[in-house]
Structure 1
Amino acid sequence: MDDLVFVESTFDKNKTEEYNLSIRVGSDGFSFSILNGNKKCLALKRFQTFDQNSTIETLNSFKEQIRNNELLNLKYKTISVLWVSNKSVLIPNEFYSEQFAFESFQLCHELSEEEVLEQNNISALESYCVFSIPNNFKEVLIQQFSTVKFYHHTYPFYSCAIKEEPHDNNPNIFVNIQKSFFHIIIPDRNNKHFINSFSYTEDSDLAYYILNVYKQQKLNNERSKLIVDGLIQEESKSIQLLKKYLTHVEVKLLPTELRIKNAIPHKEYNQYINLINLSRCE
C-alpha cells in the first residue's frame, strides 16, 4: 500500500461492504478515498498520473492502475466517481429537461461523439450541474465497479460553500483551483449566488481573474475573505500575488483529525478536499 497517502488503523478489508469509495478521475490521473459509515476517512490514495502519449495509452494506463490496485478490487457499499473538467453548465431546476440540458451544454461547450452527458442535482443551488465525460472512461469504470454514480468535481465544492454562513456586507469568496482552470462561487443569503469559471495559464492570470471578480462585484479587498482549495499551496506565486491586494486569503487544508504520512507535507493535502467531501455531501 505504498501508493496510499495514509490508512487508518481501523481499516478492515473484510468490512469494505460497509464503506464508501470515492474516486477522483480526470484526463490527467486519479486518486481515491475510502470513508466508513460515519463519514470518517479510512484510506486516501495519492494522486497518480496517467501515461498521456495518446488517448489509447491514457485509457490503458487507467485500466491497468485500477486492476492492479488491491483496494479497488474489493466490494463497497457505494462507489462514486468525481470527474474533473471545465466542461459543465448549471441549469435551474425549473428549466431543466434532458433536451434543454443537451442544448444548453452545446451553447457553452463542444460535445464530441466520444462524450456523454451526466447530471447532478445540487439541492443547495436548486440547480442541475450538467457535464460531459468521455464514454470510454465511463465504460471502464462501469465494467470495473458495475454500480457507479458520477459527479462533477464542483458538486462537493458548491455544496460545501453554500453551507457556510453567508456574510451580507462582506461575503466570502470560494475558489477551487485545478490545473488550467478554476471555479468560483460567492454565496448569497437570498440565493442570488455569483458562480463562474475561468481558464488560465499563468499564476498572474489566475490572480487577475480573481481580483477582477472583486472589482466587478464591488467587494471590499480588506474585508471579504478569499477561501481557496484544490491544486494550490500557501507559498504558490498566485497566492502571494493575491495577498498583496487582499487582506484575508485562506488556503483550506484537510481536517487535522486525519492521520497522514509524515513524508508528505500537510499543506499538499488540500487537493483532496473535494474528494473526501463528496461522500460527506451525498
Structure 2
Amino acid sequence: MIEKIDFSQSEQYTLSIRLSTDGFSFSIYNPLNGSDFFFHPYPVNTQRSMAANAKAFLAETEELKRPFKQVNILIHSERYTVLPFELYEDEQMESLVYQNLQKVNNETVLCNILGKSNTVILFGLDKLTHLFFSEHFPTARFFAAVSPQIEYFSVKSRLGNNRKLYANLHPESVDLFAFDRGHPLLFNTFSASGVTDQCYYLLYAWKQLGYDQERDELHLTGQTPFRKEITEQLQQYIRKVFIINPQAEFNDSESSRIENVPFDIQSLIACE
C-alpha cells in the first residue's frame, strides 16, 4: 500500500477502482496536485463470484466510505467489443455486443465513447456488481479497462511515420492495441499466460496485421514477471521493441513512481 494523501480532503479527490478476476485495486489522487496519491491492492477470493467479492470489498475497505469529487470504475475483462462511432446506436447496444460475444444472463451492457480514436467500446458487467457500485457511488463512471489505454495510445501512435503495436501484459492475459499513425487497426484482449503463449499471440497479431519487422514498432508495458524474457524473445523477430517507461510517459507523476499501479489506471489519470 502506498499512502501519501490527506483523507480529510477526500471531497477534492478522484477515486479510481479497478475490478479484475485476478484482484481489485484502487487509487485516490488529487487532480490539482499530482504528489497527493494513494494506491492499494485488494486480493479477491477466486472461488467467489465477482459480485460477492465486490460486496466484501465495499464493506471492508474504509477508504471507500468517504465522499469523493469523482469516482471511476474500470473493469478489466475480455467481454468487450469495439465499433466505429458512425455505427453506434444507443438502442442497439445489446444486439451489437452479442453479435460478437456469447450472451450471458444477468449482465449489464455499458458504453464508452472515445473521442480521440472515434470508436465506441461496448462492454459487459454482471448486474449485481453494477448494482452494488452504483448504489455505493451514485455518480460513478464505468469504463472498460481498455478504454483509457486506447485513448492514450491513439495520441501516442500519431508520432512518427510508422505503425505501432502496444501490448499491456498481465499474468494471465494481454491487452493489444494496433494503430497506423492514429488510425485504429485492432483492439483485443486474449487469455495467455507465460512467455511462450504471450510471444506467440503477439507475433501472430504482428504477422496478420502485415507489420514490418524492421520499420514498425512494438511497445510493451504491464505487470508480468516475464516481461524481460518476453522482450528478449520478441527482439529476435522484431527490430524495434520498446518498454514503456511510466516515468517518461506520465511526466514523473506520483502514480508513475509506483511500480504496481496498473497501466490502465495510469492512462486514465493521464487522459483526465
TM-score bin, normalised by smaller chain: 0.7 to 0.9
- After the TM superposition, list the runs of 4 or more consecutive aligned residues in structure 1 that deviate by more than 6 angstroms: none
1:22 is the counterpart of 2:13: no
1:43 corresponds to: 37
Distance in 1 between the 2:215 and 2:86 partners? 35
Q: 2:266 aligns with which of 253, 276, 279?
A: 276
Opposite residue 17 of structure 2, the aligned amino acid is: I
1:166 is the counterpart of 2:138: no
Distance in 2 between the 1:41 and 1:118 partners? 32
1:117-161 alpha-carbon deviations (Å, 9 max, x no partner): 000001112121000001111112122222211000011110110
> What's the TM-score once normalised by structure 2's chain length?
0.86
2:100 corresponds to: 108
1:183 corresponds to: 175
Distance in 2 between the 1:39 and 1:158 partners? 25
Structure 1 segments unaligned to the other structure (5+ residues): 261-265
SS in 1 for 2:235: helix
Matched residue count = 267
1:180-224 alpha-carbon deviations (Å, 9 max, x no partner): 3323222233x5421132332443122122112322333232332
Distance in 1 between the 2:129 and 2:76 partners? 12
Distance in 1 between the 2:89 and 2:47 partners? 38
> What's the TM-score once normalised by structure 1's chain length?
0.84
1:92 corresponds to: 84
1:53-104 alpha-carbon deviations (Å, 9 max, x no partner): 232xx53343233322222111110001001101111122221113433222
1:207 corresponds to: 199
1:124 is the counterpart of 2:116: yes
Instruction: Give % identity.
Output: 21
Report the CA distance shift for 1:87/1:179 in structure 2 as closer, same or farther (over 3 A). farther
1:53 corresponds to: 47
> Larger deviation: 170-179 or 79-88?
170-179
Report the CA distance shift for 1:180/1:16 in structure 2 as closer, same or farther (over 3 A). same
1:263 corresponds to: none
2:138 corresponds to: 146
Report the CA distance shift for 1:21/1:267 in structure 2 as closer, same or farther (over 3 A). closer
Distance in 2 between the 1:178 and 1:165 partners? 22
Structure 2 segments unaligned to the other structure (5+ residues): none
